[in-house]
Chain A
Amino acid sequence: MSMTDVPAETTLDASAARPLRVDVWRRFKRNRLAMLGLVMIVLLVLVAVFADVIAPYGIAERSSSFREGPSSEHWFGTDTIGLDVFSRIVYGSRVSLKIGIAATSIALVLGLLLGAVAGFFGGIVDTLIMRLTDVFLSIPYIVLAVAIAAFFGKSENSVILVLGLTGWLGICRIVRASFLSLKQLEYVEAARALGFPRARIMFGHMLPNALQPIIVYGTIAVGSVVLSEAALSFLGVGPQYPTPAWGLMVADGKSSLSNAPHMLFFPSGAILLTVLSFVFVGDGLRDALDPKLK
């Protein structure tokens, strides 16, 4: 009997034949919060790209009304020096996305490299890198951030550096743990026995299998970077006027809470929605990538 007329083949579970990516997307799609997050992120990116078209005023374009509430002229009202809050929030999406993505990328690259090296080589290299993360974890993050920000000056780019240089610790530990367990697997041992170059084993063979938690972590990290930027702005070491950073706007709005609450409300809302979107998408990805938790 030839293999082709084994009828049981046709009754195999349909899921076995579907590629993983389709399955992940299918599970992700069913998570309503995650889809909502994804839609909001897409919207945010569109707003950032078309900010010039959307924003009715420039970021430093003063009007004659100060601290006015929302009106047909100024949808989100104006601030203490007469700037249009809506326009600044629209342009601010660029700042937030830029800082979020750039800082997360720096953190990912650092964390991946150090974590992979620590987990792969083990021994003294591992010990040194782990001690290094211990040292940096023990320093209150905000001290480090304020000090580094003071060092590089107060600007968007220094905020990116600060958050990138302080954000790699978690990723480093995750990658190290995955590499430690991956190292035991037979295909990695086989690749080593065959004398493949180390870099190729680490980044060609092991990294793809360690990616899932990193993707999830990275997604959520973009959101927390946006939050941290707000905190730095609040402490006065973030980007400076006239940069339309949301955190800066919130910090400005705090003193006008009783007579101009919109100054606090709208930029806070923008931060909240952005961070939430990344958290929801990250959570959705985690559930979709790891179906056994479902």
Chain B
Amino acid sequence: MPSYIIRRVLLIIPTVFLALSFLFFLFFTLPGDPVNLIAGGGDRTIDPGVLQRIEERYGLDDPVPVQFVNYWKRTATWDLGESYVDRRSVNEILGDKSINSLRLATWAIIIEIVVGISVGLVSAVRRYSLADRLTTIATASMSAVPVFVLGFLLQYAFAVYPNLHDWPEWFRMRTSRLGPDEWRFFFIPANLEQVRYLILPAVTLASVSTALAARMTRGSMLEVLGADYMRTARAKGLRERQIVARHGLRNAMLPIVTLIGIDFGTVIGAAVLTETVFSWPGLGSEIARSVIARNIPVALGLTLVVVLAYTIINLLVDLSYAWFDPRIRLGQESSK
């Protein structure tokens, strides 16, 4: 087993290398000249001398393969370059944005786990009840609303409208940006004001994945509820609640752990829409902005971290399988 883990850890390197190399060439073939952008760009004509100095400074006059090698040389020493727009170091930008992303992602995942799994469980155990039918429709609708529409609606209903109409202070949520930026233990809001800023983006970001988690929990649990060993548990004289808790839950968890793990991996980078709606200064929106603006060092640097996070979390999820299901031996690939 240790050799399996080592092999998996080593596999992260080619995956990340290929992903970033692909993006490197993709970004470089995008139409639009980064030199113009650095110089303050647009369609203004810029002094050729300035352009030449910029090209030299960023190595943009080298052939692309040389730039490619240089990029990886720098990246290997964790020097991610500097922004074409404001010359800030990408490492510094990364520090700010990734902390904000991680906070938001953590809370979204907490909501997904708590709400998604419990709703799915109730729905499965009380199959065909009114609660189950409502859940089915609600989870389907939740994943059918564009995230940004949900964000706007929440923003309007809980922040804009109450503020316009002087509702009681405790009911008004905040929107737009981080707020006071005060946290305890890294991700716990230090005061009520911070909660007001956090709650709407966290709920919005969690919405789709929570709905998926609920649906998957329901399906997985229904399958487990029909299993022979559940009948055995009933024949032993366990109470219904104990049957579900002791014999059903862990068997039903495997697909859900996968889903939540993958969600945690993707949510860090995929929060673009939520971050944009609430102006939450995270990685996703910064990456999207950089790609659109051809700010290549920022786009590549931030994406590198997101890709790393995704692959590492995926590895951890795979390793956790062995605990959830003792039949799985690590290193022997089963056809899933």
Question: Chain B, 314-336, contact with A by CB distance < 8 Å: what is the 0/1 string?
Answer: 10000000000000000000011
Tell me if A22 counts as interface (CB < 8 A to partner B).
no
Task: Give the number of chain A interface residues (Cβ < 8 Å).
Answer: 44
Question: Chain A, 43-76, contact with B by CB distance < 8 Å: what is the 0/1 string?
Answer: 0000000000000000000000000000000000
- B136 near A143: Cβ-Cβ < 8 Å: no
- B22 near A135: Cβ-Cβ < 8 Å: yes
Segment from B59-67, B145-153, B197-205, B246-254 that makes contact with A: B145-153
Nearest-Cβ distance from residue A106 to partner chain B, whole angstroms? 18
Candidates A33, A258, A275; contact of B156 at CB < 8 Å: A258
For window 271-323 of B, CB contacts with A under 8 Å fall at 272-273, 276, 284, 287-288, 291-292, 299, 303, 306-307, 310-311, 314
Tell me if B75 counts as interface (CB < 8 A to partner A).
no
Question: Chain B, 16-41, contact with A by CB distance < 8 Å: what is the 0/1 string?
Answer: 10110011001101111000000000
Could you tell me the distance between the alpha carbons of A127 and B285 in the complex, rounded to whole angstroms?
Answer: 33
Closest B residue to A150 using CB positions: B30
Candidates B164, B270, B336; contact of A141 at CB < 8 Å: B270
Tell me if B99 counts as interface (CB < 8 A to partner A).
no
- A146 near B335: Cβ-Cβ < 8 Å: no
Which residues of A lie under 8 Å from residue B152 when comparing CB positions? Answer: 254, 257, 264
Which residues of B lie under 8 Å from residue A258 when comparing CB positions? Answer: 156, 160, 164
Tell me if A280 counts as interface (CB < 8 A to partner B).
yes
With A135-B18, A140-B284: A257-B273 Cβ-Cβ less than 8 Å = no
With A150-B30, A250-B146, A250-B148: A143-B223 Cβ-Cβ less than 8 Å = no
Which residues of A lie under 8 Å from residue B291 when comparing CB positions? Answer: 143, 146-147, 150
Could you tell me the distance between the alpha carbons of A6 and B273 in the complex, rounded to whole angstroms?
Answer: 68
Nearest-Cβ distance from residue A115 to partner chain B, whole angstroms? 13
- B148 near A139: Cβ-Cβ < 8 Å: no
Which residues of A lie under 8 Å from residue B336 when comparing CB positions? Answer: 177
Candidates B136, B147, B219, B307; contact of A139 at CB < 8 Å: B307
- B15 near A142: Cβ-Cβ < 8 Å: no
Which residues of B lie under 8 Å from residue A254 when comparing CB positions? Answer: 148, 152
Segment from A9-17, A185-193, A223-231 that makes contact with B: A223-231
Query: Across the A-B interface, how many residue pairs have beta carbons closer than 8 Å?
Result: 132
Could you tell me the distance between the alpha carbons of A279 and B136 in the complex, rounded to whole angstroms?
Answer: 11
- B288 near A146: Cβ-Cβ < 8 Å: yes
- A140 near B269: Cβ-Cβ < 8 Å: yes
Question: Chain A, 227-242, contact with B by CB distance < 8 Å: what is the 0/1 string?
Answer: 1001100111100000
Which residues of B lie under 8 Å from residue A140 when comparing CB positions? Answer: 266, 269-270, 284, 287, 303, 306-307, 310
- B148 near A138: Cβ-Cβ < 8 Å: no
Among A137, A147, A235, the most chain B Cβ lie within 10 Å of the Cβ of A147
Tell me if A111 counts as interface (CB < 8 A to partner B).
no
Tell me if B14 counts as interface (CB < 8 A to partner A).
yes
Which residues of B lie under 8 Å from residue A164 when comparing CB positions? Answer: none
- A147 near B144: Cβ-Cβ < 8 Å: no
Tell me if B245 counts as interface (CB < 8 A to partner A).
no
Which residues of B lie under 8 Å from residue A109 when comparing CB positions? Answer: none
Nearest-Cβ distance from residue A203 to partner chain B, whole angstroms? 20
Candidates A181, A223, A272, A293; contact of B223 at CB < 8 Å: A293
Tell me if A77 counts as interface (CB < 8 A to partner B).
no
Closest A residue to B335 using CB positions: A180
Nearest-Cβ distance from residue A294 to partner chain B, whole angstroms? 10
For window 102-142 of B, CB contacts with A under 8 Å fall at 136-137, 140-141
With A230-B146, A272-B145: A139-B14 Cβ-Cβ less than 8 Å = no
Nearest-Cβ distance from residue A25 to partner chain B, whole angstroms? 22
Which residues of B lie under 8 Å from residue A271 when comparing CB positions? Answer: 144-146, 149
Tell me if A131 counts as interface (CB < 8 A to partner B).
yes
Could you tell me the distance between the alpha carbons of A257 and B153 in the complex, rounded to whole angstroms?
Answer: 9
Tell me if A148 counts as interface (CB < 8 A to partner B).
yes
Nearest-Cβ distance from residue A141 to partner chain B, whole angstroms? 6
Nearest-Cβ distance from residue B295 to partner chain A, whole angstroms? 12
Candidates B160, B222, B272, B287; contact of A293 at CB < 8 Å: B222
For window 127-175 of A, CB contacts with B under 8 Å fall at 131, 134-143, 146-148, 150-151
Tell me if A92 counts as interface (CB < 8 A to partner B).
no
- B284 near A142: Cβ-Cβ < 8 Å: yes
Nearest-Cβ distance from residue B307 to partner chain A, whole angstroms? 5
Could you tell me the distance between the alpha carbons of A87 and B186 in the complex, rounded to whole angstroms?
Answer: 50
- B288 near A177: Cβ-Cβ < 8 Å: no
- A234 near B144: Cβ-Cβ < 8 Å: no
Nearest-Cβ distance from residue B293 to partner chain A, whole angstroms? 10
Could you tell me the distance between the alpha carbons of A93 and B136 in the complex, rounded to whole angstroms?
Answer: 26
With A131-B15, A150-B30: A138-B144 Cβ-Cβ less than 8 Å = no
Closest B residue to A255 using CB positions: B152
- B156 near A257: Cβ-Cβ < 8 Å: yes
Which residues of B lie under 8 Å from residue A236 when comparing CB positions? Answer: 292
Which residues of A lie under 8 Å from residue B306 when comparing CB positions? Answer: 140, 143
- A131 near B19: Cβ-Cβ < 8 Å: no
With A138-B16, A143-B291: A151-B29 Cβ-Cβ less than 8 Å = yes
Tell me if B143 counts as interface (CB < 8 A to partner A).
yes
- A227 near B144: Cβ-Cβ < 8 Å: yes
What are 12 contact pairs spanning A and B, CB under 8 A? Answer: A138-B16, A140-B310, A142-B284, A143-B291, A146-B291, A147-B291, A150-B32, A234-B148, A235-B276, A258-B156, A264-B149, A264-B152
Minimum-distance CB pairs A-B, first 10: A140-B269, A275-B144, A180-B335, A230-B146, A276-B144, A268-B149, A135-B18, A146-B291, A138-B307, A135-B19
